[in-house]
Structure 1
């Protein structure tokens, strides 16, 4: 603990986009910063602080600087305030906001008490009422990369078709899975070389939604070409196997999946939800359509099914773009600048 200057709490058991961010980012930050995570649901490969070590926060690290508690959720901001004001730990509090909506009064109250605030996009920053720095998320270019061998090709999946189009993530209305399915029901009969694959968890709450989609697909006679794969062991390989990736969410926080697709050299069709429109460059790396507009989504996908070479071209441009703008190292550098600013405040 003597060398730990930043603590990244993850106070939520269920896997989420925030958890994914921590898992990917902390190893990069740890290259030149004393940082540890605390909380459930995190792999043992990360530098960890155990619950019994919380009293050690009462003592500053060997650098003499106050530790930074980097929160990403309300409960983590609240925990940081309790540690600082109730238990008198010498902490500085930093918060990252991905929300793209007006914050509730309690959240605003918490944010005003932070020593540093980060927005994950210009859009999310527009809803903050305090000074902040925009630091966009990066993507792990070692995990998400273009095809390197036969197992990365769609043919290895032994599914129908020559090309695949994918939609990954939890199957639910918010994620726009139904918009993707409807677009595929309309388009695939005219494009026999293409198959659609959907991966992701179906929770009990959303089973009825998923069942209704399966019924629509069956009624269209496309059950062998619009496939629900469920949760897959390694989603990264599926980004490499698809030629086009679709992110049809109705609303998002940040939304990492377009970055993961671009890093895999895959063209992206995305909605305006989350930070998608700040990630995808229309006509260069993919297409962007209004969130919730199924007709616009269908028409944005159509040119890629008509001309797979267009998808290949946009996928290559996406890889080049993500390598320049969205490396994890870029995000780590941006966060370090915020930490240094907070430390400089004394």
Structure 2
């Protein structure tokens, strides 16, 4: 999920793990970046599932201590094969991680196979293309991302923790626990507060929709960095000028975003650009219909007219129209909510993502990589 809310909760709730026994480790999931991101969330959610049937460890900063984590001094152990005799897989998700794996393999002659997961939906730079061409296998997180790759790839879409993101048993109680009004319906927009994420489009839509719908309010949650503080303040001023300061709520970055998804009655993902974008999945898994722009993998996640709507990027009138229909029709919203929940559980559980990645690993080990 973008700088993922809830990662701090995972980190605070766990104890420091012991250094792994490297002879048993066959997969390395590097995380060579301190700032939390969607990649961080992916590693945090997937590695524990993968570890149930695979010797896997992480390396790098910014990850919670409950994950298996090799120490930097153990890097020397990568120069030897694990006990299984197979080459270890170095599964990179960033350029710096591809480079690190390439250095280990090409310069230090570590017996590694290199796998890269690409979520980007843009023409890659020459440097990125150079690195990708040297991977043994490439995974794309969506069909759109695969279209930008100039090498063979396997599409393995991200999944969602359907046990964590699930509808609350009592929505009124869930709202009250978050300090929200249990008599109101809420529409949410979660993620980093910045222009790229389309938060201004969300605020503009709410300024148009809420005055004639007194039973609805809006929630914006996410981290605002220093360089985007002015952007956020302008949005708060816009809400206040419309007389909606008490109904367009900026709650900031929360320790755990999970209950906030379940407390919503509608979710809007108004991004202008996105690599993949997990929030629509998290909303649907929480039993919430979604209105999303056609960026990232959103059109591959949301079933048009069934679990919500997908509209053109920056199409504010379409966002307003689709959101307004859901806000005005309780029955249609409930049908979409039930369809969204069933769709997420059937097609996007984390287990399916882990299985798809494992199939790529097995092909690499069988000598049938890219």
Q: Name 2:10's counterpart in structure 1.
A: none
Q: Name 2:340's counterpart in structure 1.
A: 318
Spell out, residue by residue over 1:129-160, the C-alpha distance to the aligned partner (whole angstroms, 9 max, x if none).
Answer: 10110000011112111113467632433434
Matched residue SS, 1:335? helix
The answer to whether the Cα contact below 8 Å between 2:160 and 2:349 also exists between their aligned partners in 1 is: yes
- Picking from 11, 19, 39, the partner of 2:40 is 19
Work out the CA distance in 2 between the residues paired with 1:89 and 1:151.
Answer: 56
The answer to whether the Cα contact below 8 Å between 1:152 and 1:237 also exists between their aligned partners in 2 is: no
The runs of at least 4 aligned residues of structure 1 exceeding 6 Å deviation read none
Q: Which runs of 5+ in 2 are unaligned?
A: 1-21
- What is the RMSD computed on CA atoms of the aligned residues? 1.2
Residue 8 of structure 1 pairs with residue 47 of structure 2: no
Relative to the length of structure 1, the TM-score reads: 0.98
Q: Name 2:83's counterpart in structure 1.
A: 62
Q: Name 2:58's counterpart in structure 1.
A: 37
Spell out, residue by residue over 1:63-118, the C-alpha distance to the aligned partner (whole angstroms, 9 max, x if none).
Answer: 00000000000000000000111111100000000000111111001000000000
Residue 340 of structure 1 pairs with residue 362 of structure 2: yes
Q: Name 1:126's counterpart in structure 2.
A: 147
The answer to whether the Cα contact below 8 Å between 1:243 and 1:308 also exists between their aligned partners in 2 is: no
Residue 305 of structure 1 pairs with residue 336 of structure 2: no
The answer to whether the Cα contact below 8 Å between 2:289 and 2:308 also exists between their aligned partners in 1 is: yes
Spell out, residue by residue over 1:208-243, the C-alpha distance to the aligned partner (whole angstroms, 9 max, x if none).
Answer: 100110111111000000000001121100000001
Work out the CA distance in 2 between the residues paired with 1:342 and 1:80.
Answer: 15
Q: Name 1:156's counterpart in structure 2.
A: 177
Q: Name 1:210's counterpart in structure 2.
A: 232
Aligned length: 346
The answer to whether the Cα contact below 8 Å between 2:178 and 2:260 also exists between their aligned partners in 1 is: no
Residue 233 of structure 1 pairs with residue 255 of structure 2: yes
Spell out, residue by residue over 1:50-71, the C-alpha distance to the aligned partner (whole angstroms, 9 max, x if none).
Answer: 1111001011111000000000
Work out the CA distance in 2 between the residues paired with 1:2 and 1:293.
Answer: 54
The answer to whether the Cα contact below 8 Å between 1:281 and 1:287 also exists between their aligned partners in 2 is: yes
Q: Which runs of 5+ in 1 are unaligned?
A: none
